[in-house]
Each structure stands twice: as structure tokens, then as C-alpha cells.
Amino acid sequence: MLRLKIMELRESKGISVRQLSEETGIRWNTLNDMEKGTAKHWPPEHLNTLMRYFELRDVSELIEYVDEKATKD
């Protein structure tokens, strides 16, 4: 399963979901869903915005693969 690292990135800046929303223009509830892993899709424009905002150079800094099978054992 793919997972966004929004919470870790946000917490490293010491900001809330609402602050991130205000600074990026992405709705707070959309960010919250993306952060919790409940979003049905991740719009490319949102991913681009987050990459720019957090000054990331590699997509692996934003998205990681989590082996669900390994975490259930």
C-alpha cells in the first residue's frame, strides 16, 4: 500500500493541517483524508503542491510503500 508522509512532514514544520491548508490552498479535509490514508485518490496537482511546499526533491520523501502483509503479522 502506498502512504503519504504528510503528517511527518507537517509535524517537522510544527504546523497543523489547517495551517498547511491555508499555505497550500488545498482544502483541510482533503489534506486530512490524504494524511489518514482515507482519500480515494491523490490529485497530481496536490502532490506537486506538497512537493514544492516542503521543498522535496524526490517523490520518496512524500510517498512510501508499506507492506500491509508485513504489518499484520
Within 13 Å of residue 22, how many CA atoms lie on the same side as its CB? 5
Average model confidence (pLDDT) across the chain:
94
CATH 3.20.80.10 fits domain 2-72: no
pTM: 0.89
Q: What are 18-40's pLDDT values in tens digits?
A: 999 999 999 999 999 999 999 99
**Total residues belonging to the chain:** 73
- For residue 26, with 0-12 CB atoms within 10 Å meaning exposed, 13-18 middle and 19 or more buried, which class applies? buried
Q: How far is 20 from 37, CA to CA, in rounded Å?
A: 17
The answer to whether 39 touches 30, Cβ cutoff 8 Å, is: yes
